[in-house]
Amino acid sequence: MRVAVLILLSAMALVAADAHFDGARVHYESYGSGPKAVVFIHGWTCDLTFWRGQAPIYEKYRSLLIDLPGHGESDKPPVSYTMDYFARAVDAVLRDAGVEHAVLLGHSMGVPVAMAFLHLFPGKAKAMVFVDGYLRWDAPKNSDAIATLDTPNYKTWMSGVVDSMFSSNTSPALRQEIKSKMLATPRQVVFSAWEGMRSAASLARDATFSIPALAILRGGRVNTAYKKRLRSVFPDLRGYETWQGSGHFLMMESPARFNQSLAAFLDSIGFSAP
């Protein structure tokens, strides 16, 4: 492990470090010590700073915050950014940090990344948390998004997509922070990761995982049929919350509420503080 900086955050030591995967550097932050951890996986064109509102969680529980390859402070190699590629990078971080078992916490694209991890590394994940991220059983309908992303004007389309993720609970300052970070992602990563998400539709098909799960979703997007299908993949679905009026970045908009739900779930599965 190459340690970049070591500081003290309340009673918890933060180690900012780099794992190495397929010749690339994967940046992450490690809180606490021990062989099990809560693993925070951000969404499309985001980075680990999108979890800053969850400091009360990673001050209390062993945690890893990861910049997926192509994002944040991680290297951005010219590769295909598939969900399997991201999942293998997550595993490289776990091995570098000495973590054997994980509670996977995926926001948005972080959900198919976590699902790919479950398929590739059976037994390593002990629980799963969906943060406004969804499973697909079938390939999405054709759209012009891929072609749009592969043009010089892709940021115009991308800006509109990001705007659609906000709600009245998203403050102007938070909107600016989110948008500036997402639009700063290299075009190659934007394009390839979007395509990778579209290609990951079969991750839930004919799959069943016997680990505890929690879903926290913005209200008005899913129905009881989706909940039933989610439970078919995760029979031990401990919680299913839909937050009316929330935007896509609900963990940033309402961090105290989010942290309360997450801490209750971690306690319910016996995930003790280090």
Residue spans of the domains in the chain: they are: 2-268
Query: Taking 80 as the threshold, does the pLDDT of residue 148 lie above it?
Result: no
**Mean pLDDT within 11-19:** 79
Cα(238)–Cα(82) distance, rounded to whole angstroms? 29
- Whether residue 243 contacts residue 217, with contact meaning beta carbons closer than 8 Å, is answered with yes
Q: How does DSSP classify residue 211?
A: S
Determine the pLDDT at residue 124.
Answer: 97
Rounded Cα distance, 251 and 116, in Å: 23
Q: How far is CA 11 from the centre of its chain?
A: 25
Nearest Cα to Cα of residue 99 among 28, 155, 23: 28
Confidence of residue 8 (pLDDT cuts 50, 70, 90): very low
Half-sphere exposure in the Cβ direction for 120 (13 Å, CA): 16
Q: How confident is the model over 209-254, as pLDDT tens digits? A: 999 999 999 986 557 888 998 999 999 999 999 999 999 999 999 9
d(CA 265, CA 259): 10
Residue 138: burial class (beta carbons within 10 Å; 0-12, 13-18, 19+): exposed
pLDDT at 142: 55
pLDDT digits (tens, 9 = 90+) for 149-193: 666 778 888 999 999 999 998 999 999 999 999 999 999 999 999
C-alpha dihedral, 230 to 235 to 236 to 238, nearest 10°:
40
Q: What is the CA radius of gyration of the chain?
A: 17
Q: State which H helix or E strand residue 251 sits in.
A: helix 250-253
Q: What is the pTM of this model?
A: 0.92
pLDDT digits (tens, 9 = 90+) for 75-121: 999 999 999 999 999 999 999 999 999 999 999 999 999 999 999 99
pLDDT given at position 9:
41
Q: Residue 222 has what pLDDT?
A: 54
Superfamily of domain 2-268 in CATH is Alpha/Beta hydrolase fold, catalytic domain (3.40.50.1820)
Spatial neighbors of 172 by CB under 8 A, at least 6 apart, are: none
Predicted confidence (pLDDT) per residue in 40-79, tens digit: 999 999 999 999 999 999 989 999 999 999 999 999 999 9
Q: What is the largest CA-CA distance in the chain?
A: 50
Count the Cβ atoms, other than its own, within 10 Å of residue 267: 12
